[in-house]
Amino acid sequence: MMKTKETVRKPLLAITIFLFCLFASMFFSKTKAKKLQIGASPLPHAEMLNFVKEDLKKFNIDLEVIEFTDYITPNIALNEKQIDANFFQHAQYLDSFAKDHKMDIVSLIAVHLEPQGVFSQKIKSISELLDGATIAIPNDPTNEGRALLLLHNNDLIKLRPGVELKCTPFDIIGNPKKLKFKELEAAQLPRVLADVDCAVINGNYALEAGFNPIKDALLLEGSDSPYKNVVAVRRDMKDNQQLQKLAEILTSDKMREYILRTYNGSVVPSF
């Protein structure tokens, strides 16, 4: 039996439609936005990430910001590949946590500094601090040392020479006011201000508690502080193109202007 033109056209049409759908599927799968999941503290980190969402979309990156309110869970989530990166901690805390917990997570880029400060609901000036006063400080190794160093640099205590950033209250060799120290998780410090004379609070938690560190802190770290906040990633993801683009945008002139305009010195660009 001879094939008619109609019987030839039908299979050719079907093949053409199939090939078109196949190539269309391949095209759209390639252009589908890559989702990037970043864990962050609510302020200022999540706020900063949300600011760059639209810029990342221009490079086909869909940024999802997942908020955490503590200093432990975001690194565990990153190490267990539940998120692609996190943005909440300074480099010293990251290095210490990774070493203590045997995690291969590293800094991708330094973005900003949040000066640590001394806050109080009971006194208006550090000169009003009475003998025997109680000061609450963070209990994690890096932020505790940072807090004590702030007090040392302002002549409230004297630390043992050479202890530097790893000091604890046991390294205090001079305490003329006989100050007492209450060691607590960093996130709890704003909540205990009514129960202590003052507390040394990290910048992000001070902002979340409604403080303006520039106006409200009795003492505040200078811009020369080495505690720069970083984006952390798993080492094997350090060269990932989407993460590299995130790092580029977070350290752009646009981000610098946003930080300076939004936080009025409470958060300082480190790039």
pLDDT class of 229 with cuts at 50, 70, 90: very high
Of the two residues 180 and 2, the one the predictor is more confident about is 180
Indicate the pTM of the whole model.
0.84
Radius of gyration of the chain (CA): 26
The two three-digit tokens of residue 176, written as one number = 């003329």
DSSP the chain: -PPPHHHHHHHHHHHHHHHHHHHHHHHHHHHSPEEEEEEE-IIIIIHHHHHTHHHHHTTTEEEEEEE--SSSHHHHHHHTTSSSEEEEEEHHHHHHHHHHTT--EEEEEEEEE---EEE-SS-SSGGGPPTT-EEEEE-SHHHHHHHHHHHHHTTS-EEPTT-GGG--GGGEEE-TT--EEEEE-GGGGGGGGGGSSEEEE-HHHHHHTT--HHHH-SEE--TT-S-EEEEEEEGGGTT-HHHHHHHHHHTSHHHHHHHHHHHTTSSEE--
32-114+227-269 with 117-220: one CATH topology?
yes
Could you tell me what percent of the chain has a pLDDT over 90?
A: 85
In angstroms, what CA-CA distances link 142 with 8, 96, 244?
Answer: 76, 7, 27
Query: What is the dotted CATH code of the domain comprising 32-114+227-269?
Result: 3.40.190.10
pLDDT class of 29 with cuts at 50, 70, 90: very low
Could you say which architecture CATH assigns to the domain 117-220? 3-Layer(aba) Sandwich (3.40)
Task: Look over the chain and give the mean of its residue pLDDT values, rounded to a whole number.
Answer: 91
Report, as an integer, the average pLDDT of 40-61: 98
Q: Domains of the chain: which residue ranges?
A: 32-114+227-269, 117-220
Q: Give the pLDDT confidence score for residue 10 in this predicted structure.
A: 53
Report, as an integer, the average pLDDT of 186-195: 97
Residue with tokens 């200022």: 44
Report, as an integer, the average pLDDT of 79-96: 97
